[in-house]
Structure 1
Amino acid sequence: MRVAIIGAGALGGTFAARLAAVGHDVTVTARGAGLAAIQADGIRLTGGFGEAHAHPIAVERLTERPELVLVCTKAQDAEAAIAANATVIDGAPVIVVQNGLGGVATARRLLPASDCFGALTIIAANYTKPGQVTVTTPALTYLGRGDGPADAATRRWQALLEPAVPAAVIDNFVGAQWTKLVVNMLNALPAITGLSVQEVVADPGLRLVMTASMRETVRVGMARGVRFGSLQALGDRRLRAFSRLPLWAGQVLPLMMRARMGDVPNLGSTLQSIRRGQPTEIDFLNGAVVREAAEAGVPVPVNVHLTALVHEVEGVGTPLPVAEVLRRFAASPAPH
């Protein structure tokens, strides 16, 4: 099948290399050094899915309609990237592989003739340098759409992806996006401190801050009437129970996530963006919690502070010492 992947970073590169390895004709879009590297030497994939060296067609903008499109950009780049390719891809089925809450809605708005789906991937991958990706956690990718049961079309695309990467269909995709948003609370503190996710969770003070950000996220979702979808052993009942726990007891959640990662350092996508000198998607992660909280009238001081600190580190380009981060939180309003 002719598959186009918009955005050839860590996840886009992983999907491109794996889909090419099982026989699909893959085209990727990229820019700058990434485009030049892929055009010169393809994409080299190492780590959890094994080694692969794919040679997809690499372009800045698509010129031929594919049979399937995967949008793998960062959330803040999705609208511009989809719009840039809309005249070519509108009418082709589209899978948005993205963090945050609004990616599928954006694709539907810009591509009215396309059948649009969402994908939530638990794969962790490091974009080590242009054209090179290392998978640190080989995990499932979940496909779905809407808030009802998975349909036949979703199952068709799951069957296509499964030989390349582990894939499953998921009911209540909208609720699962909120569950993934809780998981994505792993990203901010590594970006602020420069530490891996595992190192952040191992620090007692940082782990409490992370737990508080997760608890705020769940409480906002509940206030917005969300029924959390099942994802990575998390679901509506467990997350609602977590929302009622005191912070010291709630730490079991990030510790559980840390245990599933293994020992290969997981940098998180937000820290990787900072190390490359690129804007992060923090406004679509912790920032999304802040926006949804404003609509619900729920206070989220930890997520407000985390969003601001990530933007601060973006601006200066260097991480903050752990002691300074904890001092800032000690001086800010405490979670309740």
Structure 2
Amino acid sequence: MTPFSSHARRIGIVGAGAIGGHFAARLALAGHRVSVLARGDTLRALDTSGLRYTSPGQPERVVEVHAHARADEIGPQDLVVIALKSHALPALAAALIPLIGPRTVVLPVGNGLPWWYCLAPGHPLEGLRLTSVDPDGRIARALPFAQVLGGSVMASCSSPAPGVVKHHSGGRITLGEPCAGVSERAADWARTLTEAGLPTVASDDIRRDLWIKLLGNACSNPLSVLTQTTTDRLLDAPGTRDVYERLMTECLTIGRQAGLALDIDIAARIAQTRELGAVKTSMLQDLEAGRPLELDAILGAPLECAARLDVDAPLMRTVLALATLRATSATT
């Protein structure tokens, strides 16, 4: 590992799974002081064996990180990367307060729409509290909006065992200010992450970028759960491809009514997804493993936006109802 230096940052990683482990490994190998908030088997694995990390074309490396069970054992950080599933954050948010000092930057990188998405002023959704992702406001109370940078990660990673992370492909990260514009802190952290092998750009409209990512997640993830198949088969069958297109059209309509500049060609976007081949979505992997699904952030939150904007999205509502029942049936 690169020696710890006076130029290193203190970086806390919340969520030691696939994406969190990818961040932790790259940043630690670049010489930053990385602390990981973990529990159970993952905490024990990190304590005893370190973080085992592989990336295409490179041998497995054992990366030293500082693993802790409680945030108060870590203390205030320069950057806190929140790589939890969206449904896990409300219960944990208050416990993260010890990680946040007056100058700490909070970078959530989960799927779907985050709790802060409508908190910025000056757009049609201003002031809407997304109860799908923050039911009683616990996240908003614990994590200061002024210290948040929005983040989107386009990387394929997996964690086949506790403390083991595999980076398969991709890796582009986009971050930006919730209130738009490229700030000095966004540009600074984009450079820091890029230098650590996490290619990052600072966006002038992170809300737009998150909605563009949502377009894929809102279609591929729930439809893969309902059909229990990979994205190539979804798009090759005319019937399910039509459902996919109509679902994307509804999502795109909501985003445009929300004031987002979405110059998206649906056919071209679907073609990009098809080129990725036989992708098993993260939501289908969660279903097969018996884990909760991120339906609220990926479908529930945009439906809340649709209701505020008086946009009808009947197919999205139907898919959410069916996928929710499928998820419930899988755990009973």
Question: Is contact 1:49–1:135 with CA below 8 Å preserved after alignment?
Answer: no
Question: Is contact 1:5–1:70 with CA below 8 Å preserved after alignment?
Answer: yes
- 2:144 is the counterpart of 1:112: yes
Show the counterpart of 2:188.
156
Identity percentage of aligned residues: 29
Tell me, in whole angstroms, the C-alpha distance in 2 between the residues paired with 1:130 and 1:193.
Answer: 29
Tell me, in whole angstroms, the C-alpha distance in 2 between the residues paired with 1:312 and 1:71.
Answer: 28
Identify which of 18, 24, 32 aligns with 2:32.
Answer: 24
Identify which of 82, 102, 121 aligns with 1:71.
Answer: 82
- 2:274 is the counterpart of 1:258: yes
Aligned AA for 1:208? D
What does 1:14-53 align with in structure 2 at a 5 Å threshold?
A: 14-48=22-56, 50=58, 51-53=60-62
TM-score, length of structure 1 as denominator length: 0.80
Show the counterpart of 1:292.
305
Gaps in structure 2 of 5+ consecutive residues: 1-8, 120-133
Question: Is contact 2:107–2:151 with CA below 8 Å preserved after alignment?
Answer: yes
Aligned AA for 2:86? A
Aligned AA for 2:309? A
Gaps in structure 1 of 5+ consecutive residues: 229-235, 243-249, 319-336
Residue 157 of structure 1: how far off its partner (Å): 0.4
State the Cα RMSD in Å.
2.4
- 2:105 is the counterpart of 1:93: yes
Identify which of 179, 194, 203 aligns with 2:212.
Answer: 179
Tell me, in whole angstroms, the C-alpha distance in 1 between the residues paired with 2:83 and 2:309.
Answer: 30
What does 1:1-336 align with in structure 2 at a 5 Å threshold?
A: 1-48=9-56, 50=58, 51-62=60-71, 63=73, 64-91=75-102, 92-104=104-116, 109-112=141-144, 115-163=147-195, 164-185=197-218, 186-224=220-258, 226-228=259-261, 236-237=262-263, 239=264, 242=265, 250-259=266-275, 261=276, 263=277, 265-317=278-330
Tell me, in whole angstroms, the C-alpha distance in 2 between the residues paired with 1:274 and 1:196.
Answer: 13
Aligned AA for 1:304? R
Aligned AA for 1:93? V
Tell me, in whole angstroms, the C-alpha distance in 2 between the residues paired with 1:46 and 1:172.
Answer: 32
Aligned AA for 1:80? A
Tell me, in whole angstroms, the C-alpha distance in 1 between the residues paired with 2:57 and 2:140.
Answer: 31
Show the counterpart of 2:127.
none
Aligned AA for 1:269? S
Tell me, in whole angstroms, the C-alpha distance in 2 between the residues paired with 1:203 and 1:136.
Answer: 27
